[in-house]
Amino acid sequence: MLKVGDIREFMRLMDETSIHELQVEAGDVKLVLKKAPLAERTAVVQTGRADTAQSATVAAPVRAEPVDARENAPVAADGVNSNGAIISSPMVGTFYRSSTPAAPPYVDVGSRITEKTVVCIVEAMKLMNEIEADVRGEIVEVLAENGQLVEFGQPLFRVNLA
């Protein structure tokens, strides 16, 4: 069975190479990744019968986007500024701050994080996808509500970079 981490790794490899299309089959799951203009990726997942195929447009692996809290604040040429970064949702799904309703949130305002820190879960197609920070710093704002439906690219957390 393919895991979300496997799919992210395939996407990362496609970004780093000249491969334009990749097909992977594991059991009754077929994954097709195709490079499209502007780094957009199309993933088609088939489970069982061909008439149940689902298609979703997804982006390259999660990347935190540098931002500045002040409106119209200048951003340095390298994209980094004094405020930090936004951790965005890598997919459409339901945002959860913890692994279970009774568990404490993975992170809160003031939490120190590293690139591998799990900050939340986004549930998509009945799969619980742990989202890693991909940046080092401190959570300064939680931008989504627990249980909220989130869109691809929607900001989830604001981070001051370390």
CA distances 121 to 26, 82, 87, Å, are: 24, 28, 13
CA–CA distance, 45 with 94 (Å, rounded to integer) = 19
Per-residue pLDDT, 107: 97
Q: Which residue has the tokens 């809290």?
A: 69
Per CATH, which fold does 65-161 belong to? OB fold (Dihydrolipoamide Acetyltransferase, E2P) (2.40.50)
Domain parsing of the chain, residue ranges = 4-58, 65-161
Per-residue pLDDT, 79: 36
Total-model pTM: 0.53
Q: Which of 90, 120, 126 is nearest to 105 (CA)?
A: 120
| 138 close to 112: Cβ distance less than 8 angstroms | yes
| 97 close to 122: Cβ distance less than 8 angstroms | no
Per-residue pLDDT, 5: 76
Q: Identity (one letter) of the amino acid at 160?
A: N
Q: Which residue has the tokens 């395939």?
A: 10
Question: Mean pLDDT of successive 10-residue segments in the chain (162 residues)?
Answer: 75 73 78 61 43 44 44 38 82 95 96 96 93 95 96 95 86
Q: The sheet that has 21-26: what strands, in order across it?
A: 21-26, 29-35, 41-47, 54-58
The one-character DSSP state at 134 is -
Per-residue pLDDT, 139: 97
Per-residue pLDDT, 66: 47
Kindly give the pairing relationship between strand 21-26 and strand 93-96. unpaired
53-58 contacts at long range (C-beta below 8 A, 24 or more positions apart): 54/125, 56/91, 56/92, 57/152, 58/11, 58/90, 58/91, 58/152
